[in-house]
Amino acid sequence: MAANKRLLVLPGDGIGPEVMREARRVVDWLDKRRAVSFAIEEGLCGGASLDKHGTPLTDETLERAKAADAVLFGSVGGPKWDSLPFDKKPERGLLRLRKEMDLFANLRPAVCFDALADASSLKPELVRGLDVMIVRELTSGIYFGQPRGIETLPNGQRRGYNTQSYTTEEIRRVVRVACELARKRNKRVTSVEKANVMESGVLWREEAQKLRDAEFPEIELSHMYADNCAMQLVRNPKQFDVIVADNLFGDILSDAAAMLTGSLGMLPSASLGAIDASGRRPALYEPVHGSAPDIAGQNLANPIAMLLSLAMTLRYSFDLLEDARLIETAVKRVLDGGARTGDIMQPGKAKVSTSVMGEMIVRELDNLAA
Ligand code: NAD
């Protein structure tokens, strides 16, 4: 069958290539066993690209990323490149990809697998069955707003300042992504800001409501102040379906929600851009974790965040819901069976390597598809 999904694979540095190897194993399985087939290109990003080309992302790799149906990304960075100036660091490669592809919506699911409910910092009954989607605005807000800087005042004091700024369209497009996601879930969106103390929050609240009224009458939209949302996330996280927030609040809330579910090694993410005239949406999928230099090259990393990022690719870029669900179910069954990488190890369970975890998940896929 002709390969019909163009995937650019950027394994990166540290454990990136190790966890990506397991994702490729699952891609190969899908190619052989399911109706989908992939045209895969591989490229360099981060330190690997710096070493070969002197830049963390070449223009050519960027063009290939823009032309692909989706980018599957490992992780970048490591001590070898830590002393480089900020604009040369491996992490700039990822930031440039996000910026040039205009990936404005960052999707961070917080899903708790039953087998790991005891690993959460909250009581197991609070997190068992948890399935929240946090949508964070990624390309605007206080991290990018002008003016910004540090200045010295006439009295000798220094003053640091940043600007929180959102336009109507910047708010509408990310709230639209949240509503579209909710449509396929439990149809509830919580929009988060601080409209009680910030004008940008007042605008956010008004525009979110207008967008919902005009385009998503079936979605139940509620508004919550960011500080209350932080409290609710640790008090009763299962009350949420989809949360949408600006760049700053989304950054903090998604990290807090992530920790409810156990380990960094379990957390996937997606970053989506705007749908173009031909119906294509630029997209990059990556685990939340970094390159984990402390365990790199030792076959110790947990590949599940990478595999769940692949499942998100299938769901959000290719609309292959059944294939995405197969991967998630295989992961669940392997965890239920007691296999654990070091980061999620619990007493009485079986400790396995990166590659054995990948093999077990593919074997489970075989069972599920039999
Ligand atoms: P990290 O996520 O790499 O590691 C934090 C801790 O979690 C480490 O102890 C690590 O061993 C563990 N860990 C992470 N992923 C794991 C996995 N899949 N399986 C088992 N254990 C795992 O964060 P860090 O140590 O702060 O950063 C290391 C490097 O990664 C730095 O250069 C940083 O800039 C970079 N980084 C890159 C990204 C990215 O590529 N998106 C994200 C964060 C950090």
* 124-176 pLDDT, tens digit each: 999 999 999 999 999 999 999 999 999 999 999 999 999 999 999 999 999 99
Is the shortest distance between the CB of 289 and ligand 1 below 6 Å?
yes
pLDDT for the residue numbered 86: 80
Atom of ligand 1 nearest to the CA of 19: 18
DSSP β-bridge partners for residue 105: 137, 272
**Span(s) in the chain for CATH 3.40.718.10:** 1-104+273-370, 114-264
Q: Name the percent of the chain lying above pLDDT 70.
A: 99
pLDDT greater than 70 at residue 331: yes
With a CB cutoff of 8 Å and minimum separation 6, the contacts of 286 are 72, 73, 74, 75, 94, 268, 269, 271, 309
Is the shortest distance between the CB of 344 and ligand 1 below 6 Å?
no
pLDDT for the residue numbered 120: 85
pLDDT for the residue numbered 87: 81
- Out of 251, 289, 302, mutate this one to test ligand 1's pocket (max ligand atoms within 8 Å of CB): namely 289
Amino acid of residue 254: S
DSSP β-bridge partners for residue 106: 136, 271
Cα-to-chain-centroid distance, residue 332: 19
Do strands 131-137 and 242-245 pair parallel, antiparallel, or not at all (unpaired)?
Answer: parallel
How far is Cα 100 from Cα 119, in angstroms, rounded to an integer?
38
Q: Are 8 and 64 in contact (CB under 8 A)?
A: yes
How far is Cα 199 from Cα 214, in angstroms, rounded to an integer?
23
Ligand 1 mean position to 237 CA, how many Å? 25
Sign of CA dihedral 51, 52, 53, 55: negative
pLDDT for the residue numbered 4: 84
pLDDT for the residue numbered 2: 53
pLDDT band at 118 (very low <50, low <70, confident <90, very high): confident
pLDDT greater than 80 at residue 69: yes
- The CATH homologous superfamily of the domain defined by 114-264: Isopropylmalate Dehydrogenase (3.40.718.10)
Q: Which residues of 294-313 are buried (b: 16+ CB within 10 A; e: fewer)?
A: ebbeebbbbbbbbbbbbbbb
Angle in degrees, CA 35, 40, 42, rounded to 5: 155
pTM for the whole structure = 0.95
Amino acid of residue 305: A
With CA atoms as reference, report the closest residue to 119 among 342, 353, 362: 342
Atom of ligand 1 nearest to the CA of 82: 32
With CA atoms as reference, report the closest residue to 313 among 360, 363, 265, 272: 272
CATH topology of domain 1-104+273-370: Isopropylmalate Dehydrogenase (3.40.718)
Mean pLDDT of all residues in the chain? 95
